[in-house]
């Protein structure tokens, strides 16, 4: 009986009001300053620059992105929502539900608990090339506040 009550109390606890130094609903505007898109064989090989694949979010250098901290600490923006999985005084690390290699991740560097200094977003997809090679396609965006 005591264990059941303890479990019920833990399940009823509200979410924290601060996620990596930011409250839910906090909005940020970032500018895309660099875009890198390539594919490579996981077994080694040459990285090859490619156009951004259709199933990835597409941003161009100079684009303004409005992002939001979700009610559970997610880092959300146009075409993505990453879960907060690690935070420290200088960075927050976010990962998509699909994981790193079939989704993506985001790393927000902070100059203080209330100010991001830069963000790196990566979107990844594993696939094949028809010759039994595993191919990783990745697009990476560097953002400044």
Contact present, 19 and 11 (Cβ < 8 Å): no
DSSP 8-state symbol, 132: S
- Tens of pLDDT, residue by residue over 65-124, are 999 999 999 999 999 999 999 999 899 999 998 776 788 999 999 997 568 999 999 999
Decide if domain 18-144 falls under CATH 1.10.287.
no
The answer to whether the beta carbons of residues 88 and 82 sit under 8 Å apart is: no
More confident call, 134 vs 43:
134
Residue spans of the domains in the chain: they are 18-144
Give the model confidence (pLDDT) of 40-51 as tens digits.
Answer: 987 777 889 999
Is the pLDDT confidence value at 55 over 90? no
Q: Quote the pTM value.
A: 0.82
DSSP conformational letter for 129? -
User: Is residue 34 exposed (0-12), middle (13-18) or buried (19+ Cβ within 10 Å)?
Assistant: exposed
At residue 61's C-alpha, the angle toward residues 97 and 74, to 5°, is 25
* Buried/exposed 106-124: b ≥16 CB within 10 Å, e otherwise: bbbebeeeeebebbebbbb
């Amino acid at each position: 009986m005591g264990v059941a009550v303890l479990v019920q109390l833990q399940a009823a606890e509200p979410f924290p009001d601060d996620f990596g130094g930011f409250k839910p609903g906090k909005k940020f505007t970032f500018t895309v300053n660099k875009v890198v898109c390539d594919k490579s064989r996981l077994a080694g090989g040459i990285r090859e620059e490619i156009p951004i694949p259709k199933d990835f979010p597409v941003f161009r250098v100079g684009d303004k992105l409005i992002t939001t901290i979700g009610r559970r600490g997610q880092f959300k923006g146009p075409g993505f929502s990453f879960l907060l999985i690690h935070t420290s005084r200088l960075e927050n690390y976010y990962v998509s539900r699909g994981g790193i290699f079939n989704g993506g991740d985001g790393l927000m560097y902070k100059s203080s608990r209330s100010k991001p200094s830069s963000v790196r977003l990566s979107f990844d997809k594993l696939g094949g090339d028809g010759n039994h090679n595993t191919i990783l396609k990745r697009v990476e965006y560097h953002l400044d506040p």
